[in-house]
């Protein structure tokens, strides 16, 4: 055990140093006292006065040592001062002048341990008075006294200057400590109140010099809450095992990135167990980073609700537009049916009746087609690629069948339907029924918008990973201002409305089907007039084809 270690209640570090110094001095002084007393007794006999004084001083030193090990340190120093003054006076009294001079300065040194100038002055005055008083009692001590007094005054001045400097330095240190404590308190309050989770991390390097992990230098209350560890358990330990599992890998990846690039990561959003965290990671110094993560779930939910609301509004707008478009489109056939029914009941001639009945049938078919298309569209809207039935199909065969279906329609308009196949047979994994619908819409439009006696081309182009099917016509084309919207639901080119009885759903259906096949569709005006629609389909590997 360290014999100079202060009592645990002595808290101040400076005081602890003084106590150690005091204890060490007394420990050295004690055997010296005893040895010098024994030497004096051996040389001058047991009645020598100096020996007795030294022995008494040894006892006092023992007491000082004992007190310095307790909480009564101040008493110990006071006792030491008294002891040293008494010793100096005693030495002077028994004519040990040089010993008295040396001893007289010691209480002033001891008093300076209190770091109080007042105590130094009081001790110096008491020592002076004591020495002066004893010199009055002992004749012939005047000259020696002057030496002792001069030494005392000089020593006091030096110690006062030193004490003053010490006090100033201490005051400065206290101020700095206070500023540091205040700044630490502000930092703590800020990280506890403002950020959500906060970690200050330091990189840990592996043998190869790469960052292996991060140790926790500081954390705030919220971070402790979510990790369920105490502050002491976290500080100085690697962060990885203490992070919630779902949070760990993505967060560590970001931390590594910041350490590597020394560039901050800001406003990165991460979702962990239904909670959205917004991350800010900034480099601090050479190898540390500050990580803060704020719970932005409420904000994210509000954003999602906002988007949902916009979608709902858009849906409502489309629905209104749809109802108005459809009402208009449905009203025309309905009023024709209405008039024709009325007229069919009025006319008596059979052939006239047949004419009206024919009109009614025509309009009923049209209505049926219209609603069929709408139904198709709404069903398609709910489909995903997984709902399609992909089978390897001979594409040429499919295209020929589509063309054959439309031949009567083309024939009515004296049009030619020209098929230009690929160089070699093409087997494609597709949902045949649905792709047939998509292609039929294109051929149907091409025939409808091409004038009498025009030509419609259906061609196939094969590339390594892609098949392109093109439908070209010789119609009026589409104005450039309308081109971006023609795949939108219910969109119909204004200029075509008078002669176009469609719903504006055909191209939207085609695009949806092509996209479900992983392909794309594009429309462009041909330089020679007319439209060109191109469908690009990826060539699937046989493994990806579900039978
Ligand atoms: P619709 O059933 O009205 O034809 P689509 O979605 O098939 O609806 O087509 C949307 C609009 O694009 C049509 O109303 C028409 O104005 C225009 N359109 C489509 N195909 C062609 C084409 N081959 N030539 C010119 N215009 C076309």
User: pLDDT tens for residues 63-72?
Assistant: 888 888 888 8
What is the 376 CA–ligand 1 centroid distance (Å)?
17
Q: What is the pLDDT of residue 545?
A: 46
Is residue 449 lining ligand 1, measured as CB closer than 6 Å?
A: yes
Short-list 175, 153, 168, 171, CA closest to 108? 153
DSSP state of 264: -
Would the CB of 500 count as within 6 Å of ligand 1?
yes
Q: Residue with the nearest Cα to atom 2 of ligand 1?
A: 502
What's the CA gap between 91 and 128, in Å, rounded?
A: 14
Q: Within 382-431, where are the H helices?
A: 395-412
Rounded-to-integer distance, Cα 496 and Cα 476, Å: 9
pLDDT in tens, 318-376: 778 777 777 777 888 899 999 999 999 898 888 989 999 999 999 999 888 888 888 88
Mean pLDDT comparison of 135-144, 238-247, 249-258, 374-383, highest-scoring range = 249-258
- What mean pLDDT comes out for the span 455-471? 94
Residue 411 Cα distances to 408, 443, 517, angstroms: 5, 13, 32
Kindly tell me if the per-residue pLDDT of 272 is higher than 50. yes
Cβ of 505 closer than 6 Å to ligand 1, yes or no, is: yes
Distance from the alpha carbon of residue 313 to the mean position of ligand 1, in angstroms: 26
- Averaged pLDDT, 149-174: 86
Dist. CA 434–CA 519, nearest whole Å: 13
Rounded to whole angstroms, how far apart are CA atoms 101 and 46?
A: 25
pLDDT at 546: 44
Collapse the DSSP code of 525 into the 3-class scheme (helix H, G, I; strand E, B; otherwise coil) and give the result: strand
Whose alpha carbon is nearest atom 19 of ligand 1?
Answer: 445
Mean pLDDT on 252-281: 88
Question: Burial code of 218-236, b = ≥16 C-beta within 10 A, e = fewer?
Answer: bbbebbbebbebeeeebee
CA distance 434 to 377: 11
Q: Which atom of ligand 1 is the closest one to the Cα of 477?
A: 25
Interval 160-169: pLDDT, tens: 888 888 888 8
For residue range 224-240, list pLDDT tens digits in order: 887 788 999 999 999 98
Whether residue 1 has pLDDT greater than 60: no
Pairing of strands 416-420, 455-462: parallel
Position 547 confidence tier, pLDDT thresholds 50, 70, 90: very low
pLDDT at 138 > cutoff 80: no
CA atoms within 13 Å, Cβ hemisphere of 135: 20
Can you name the residues that pair with 214 across neighbouring β-strands? 203
Closest ligand 1 atom, CA of 449?
24
Q: Is the CB of 503 under 6 A from ligand 1?
A: yes
Q: Is the pLDDT of residue 266 over 80?
A: yes
The answer, yes or no, to whether residue 407 has pLDDT greater than 60, is yes
* Ligand 1 centre distance from Cα of residue 448 (Å): 9
> Mutation test of ligand 1: which of 454, 483, 496, 497 has the most ligand atoms closer than 8 Å to its C-beta?
496
**C-alpha angle with apex 315: 314 to 318, nearest 5 degrees?**
85
Mean pLDDT computed over 381-387: 84
Ligand 1 in reach of 469 Cβ (< 6 A)? no
Of 251, 254, 241, the C-alpha closest to 272 is 251
Q: What is the pLDDT of residue 514?
A: 96
Residue 143 has pLDDT above 50, yes or no: yes
Is 70 exceeded by the pLDDT of residue 12?
no
Which is nearest to 104 in space by CA: 120, 127, 77?
127
Decide: 532 in ligand 1 pocket, CB within 6 A: no
Distance 7 CA to ligand 1 centre (A): 97
Asked if residue 511 has its Cβ within 6 Å of ligand 1, the reply is: no
Give the pair of three-digit tokens for residue 534: 């191109």
Nearest protein CA to atom 13 of ligand 1, as residue: 492
pLDDT band at 141 (very low <50, low <70, confident <90, very high): low
Burial class for 8, CB neighbours closer than 10 Å (0-12, 13-18, 19+): exposed
Average pLDDT of the residues in 474-498: 86
Ligand 1 centre and the CA of 445: distance in Å? 6
- C-alpha 366 to ligand 1 mean position (Å): 17
Residue 17 has pLDDT above 80, yes or no: no
Residue from 366, 377, 454, 506 to probe ligand 1 pocket by mutation (most atoms less than 8 Å from CB): 506
| Burial of 539 from C-beta contacts in 10 A (0-12 / 13-18 / 19+) | middle
Residues 6+ apart with CB under 8 A from 308: none
Core vs surface per residue 188-200: b (16+ CB within 10 A) or e: eeebeeebbbbbb
Distance CA 469, CA 538 (A): 11
Q: Give me 425's structure tokens.
A: 């047979």
- The answer, yes or no, to whether any atom of ligand 1 lies below 6 A from the CB of 441, is yes
490 lines ligand 1 (CB under 6 A): no
Quick check: 285 pLDDT over 90? no
Question: Does 478 contact ligand 1 (Cβ within 6 A)?
Answer: yes
C-alpha torsion 264→267→271→272, nearest 10: 50
Q: Best substitution site from 441, 479, 504 to test ligand 1's pocket, by max atoms within 8 Å of Cβ?
A: 504
| Best mean pLDDT range from 57-61, 90-94, 435-439 | 435-439
Q: Is the CB of 446 under 6 A from ligand 1?
A: yes
d(CA 159, CA 8): 29
Look at the pTM and tell me if it is higher than 0.85: no
Q: Could you give the CA distance from residue 371 to residue 360 in angstroms, rounded to a whole number?
A: 17
Give every CB contact of residue 431 below 8 A, 6+ residues apart in sequence.
Answer: 388, 389, 390, 391, 513, 516, 517
Q: What is the distance between the alpha carbons of residues 303 and 337, in angstroms, rounded to a whole number?
A: 50
| Mean pLDDT, rounded, for 73-83 | 83
Burial (0-12, 13-18, 19+ Cβ within 10 Å), 260: exposed
Please, what is the average pLDDT of the chain?
A: 86
Residue nearest to atom 20 of ligand 1 (CA): 445
The finding on whether 508 has its CB within 6 A of some atom of ligand 1 is yes
Confidence (pLDDT) at 294: 87
Q: Is the model more confident about 515 or about 167?
A: 515
């Amino acid at each position: 055990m360290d014999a100079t270690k202060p009592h645990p209640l002595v808290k101040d570090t400076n005081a602890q140093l003084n106590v150690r110094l005091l204890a060490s001095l007394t420990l050295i002084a004690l055997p010296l006292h005893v040895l010098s007393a024994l030497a004096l007794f051996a040389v001058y006999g047991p009645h020598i006065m100096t020996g007795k004084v030294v022995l008494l001083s040894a006892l006092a030193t023992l007491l000082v040592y004992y007190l310095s090990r307790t909480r009564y340190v101040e008493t110990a120093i006071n006792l030491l001062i008294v002891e040293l003054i008494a010793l100096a006076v005693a030495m002077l009294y028994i004519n040990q002048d040089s010993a008295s001079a040396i001893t007289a300065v010691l209480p002033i040194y001891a008093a300076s341990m209190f770091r109080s100038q007042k105590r130094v002055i009081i001790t110096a005055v008491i020592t002076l008075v004591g020495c002066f008083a004893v010199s009055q009692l002992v004749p012939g001590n005047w000259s020696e006294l002057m030496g002792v007094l001069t030494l005392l005054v000089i020593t006091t001045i030096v110690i006062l200057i030193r004490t003053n400097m010490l006090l100033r330095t201490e005051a400065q240190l206290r101020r700095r400590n206070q500023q540091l404590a205040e700044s630490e308190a502000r930092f703590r309050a800020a990280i506890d109140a403002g950020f959500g989770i906060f970690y200050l991390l330091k990189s840990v390097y592996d043998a190869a010099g790469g960052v292996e992990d991060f140790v926790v230098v500081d954390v705030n209350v919220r971070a402790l809450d979510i990790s369920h560890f105490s502050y002491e358990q976290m500080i100085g330990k690697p962060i990885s095992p203490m992070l919630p599992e779902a949070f760990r890998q993505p967060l560590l990846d970001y931390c590594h990135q910041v350490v590597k690039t020394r560039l901050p990561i800001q406003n990165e959003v991460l979702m962990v167990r239904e909670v959205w965290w917004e991350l800010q990671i900034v480099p601090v110094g050479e190898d540390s980073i500050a990580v803060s993560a704020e719970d932005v779930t409420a904000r994210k939910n509000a954003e999602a609700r906002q988007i949902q609301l916009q979608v709902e509004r858009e849906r409502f707008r489309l629905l209104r537009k749809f109802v108005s478009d459809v009402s208009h489109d449905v009203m025309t056939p309905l009023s024709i049916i209405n008039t024709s029914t009325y007229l069919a009941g009025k006319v008596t001639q059979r052939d006239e009746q047949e004419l009206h009945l024919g009109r009614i049938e025509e309009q009923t078919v049209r209505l049926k087609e219209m609603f069929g298309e709408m139904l198709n569209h709404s069903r398609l809207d709910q489909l995903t690629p997984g709902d399609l039935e992909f089978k390897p199909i001979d594409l040429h065969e499919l295209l020929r069948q589509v063309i054959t279906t439309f031949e009567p329609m083309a024939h009515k308009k004296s049009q030619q339907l020209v098929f230009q196949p690929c160089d070699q047979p093409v087997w494609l994994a597709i949902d045949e029924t649905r792709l047939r619908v998509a292609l039929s819409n294109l051929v149907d439009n091409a025939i409808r918008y091409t004038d009498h006696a025009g030509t419609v081309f259906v061609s196939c182009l094969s590339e390594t990973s892609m098949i392109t099917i093109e439908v070209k016509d010789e119609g009026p084309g589409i104005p450039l201002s309308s081109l971006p919207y023609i795949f939108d639901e219910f969109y119909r080119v204004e200029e075509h409305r008078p002669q176009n009885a469609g719903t504006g759903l055909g191209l939207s259906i085609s695009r949806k089907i092509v996209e479900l096949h992983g392909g794309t569709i594009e429309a462009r005006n041909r330089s020679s007039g007319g439209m060109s629609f191109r469908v690009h389909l990826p060539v699937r590997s046989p493994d990806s084809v579900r039978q």
